[in-house]
């Protein structure tokens, strides 16, 4: 943690590409962004884009499934800045499409670890930083029950179920929890799930970030 700032703080988990990166860029106009992702190079490219538009960010190259690292990050945020204004949770493990009876142990374990377990651990870590006035954003992708989406659909649905519980529990006293559904976008994840799709009709992540942020 090296940056001092008078701007409100936004933590973006899964900030290296796709919607997470677009959210981090858009938020940098009004927030100091703490960008979390595993890929250092992609975070550095994000930082270049943020600086080019006059913003600044703190880069945190780490895996959200590393509980100790995420605990240290949250502790550092608390010690340096005290609070967060917003948490955008865009990190996801998109396992390859496969019939339910052919899901590999590795793909299932990674899906549960990233999409479910990490979310369940991060909410208690981050909620105190958000306090009553902060906000959190989750992104639904209703693929549960569709053929070949077993690992991704089931674990993403579990993540959103957990977020909905938190949303209901915090309705009166905060933080405000938003669960939004992005339009189909031009992302690497969608290309893996829908190879050969006509991408001209898909939304750009930057446009979706602008649209979704306007909703909160």
Task: Tell me the DSSP string of 157-192.
Answer: HHHHHHHHHHHHHTTTTS-EEEEE-PPPB--HHHHH
Which tokens is 63 given? 């895996």
Residue 206 in contact with residue 25, Cβ under 8 Å?
Answer: yes
Backbone phi and psi for residue 3, each to the nearest 5 degrees, phi listed first = -95, 130
**What tens digit of pLDDT does each residue of 15-47 get?**
999 999 999 999 999 999 999 999 999 999 999
Q: What is the pLDDT of residue 197?
A: 87
Q: % helix / strand / coil in the chain, to the nearest 5?
A: 50, 15, 35
pLDDT value of position 4: 62
Question: Which pLDDT belongs to residue 41?
Answer: 96
pLDDT at 192: 86
CA angle 87, 110, 129 (to 5 degrees): 20
* Nearest of 12, 147, 168 to residue 92 by alpha carbon: 12
* Rounded distance between C-alpha atoms, residue 57 and residue 28, angstroms: 7
Nearest-angstrom CA–CA distance, 215 and 211: 7
The span from the CA of 177 to the CA of 165, in Å, is 10
Domains belonging to the chain, first-starting first, are 9-211 (3.40.50.720)
Share of the chain above pLDDT 90, in %: 90
Beta strands in 71-171 (DSSP E): 86-89, 135-139
What is the per-residue pLDDT across 60-73, written as a single tens digit (0 to 9) for each?
999 999 999 999 99
Instruction: Return the pLDDT at 2.
Output: 47
Residues of the chain with pLDDT under 50: 1-2
- Which residues does 149 contact at the CB level (< 8 Å), separation at least 6? 97, 143, 193
């Amino acid at each position: 943690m090296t940056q001092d700032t008078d701007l409100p703080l936004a933590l973006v988990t899964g900030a290296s590409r796709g919607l997470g990166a677009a959210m981090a860029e858009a938020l940098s106009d009004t927030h100091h962004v703490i960008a979390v992702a595993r890929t250092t190079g992609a975070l550095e490219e994000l930082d270049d884009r943020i600086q080019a538009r006059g913003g600044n960010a703190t880069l945190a190259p780490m895996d959200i499934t590393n509980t100790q690292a995420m605990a240290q990050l949250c502790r550092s945020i608390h010690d340096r800045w005290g609070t967060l204004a917003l948490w955008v949770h865009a990190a996801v493990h998109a396992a390859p499409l496969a019939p339910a009876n052919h899901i590999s142990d590795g793909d299932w374990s990674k899906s549960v670890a990233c999409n479910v377990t990490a979310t369940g651990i991060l909410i208690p870590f981050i909620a105190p930083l958000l306090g009553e006035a902060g906000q959190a954003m989750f992104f639904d992708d209703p693929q549960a029950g569709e053929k070949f989406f077993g690992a991704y659909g089931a674990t993403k649905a579990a993540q959103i179920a957990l977020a909905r519980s938190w949303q209901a529990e915090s309705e009166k006293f905060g933080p405000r929890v938003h669960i939004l559904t992005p339009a189909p976008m031009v992302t690497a994840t969608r290309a893996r799930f829908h190879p050969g799709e006509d991408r001209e009709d898909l939304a750009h992540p930057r446009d979706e970030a602008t649209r979704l942020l306007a909703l909160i």
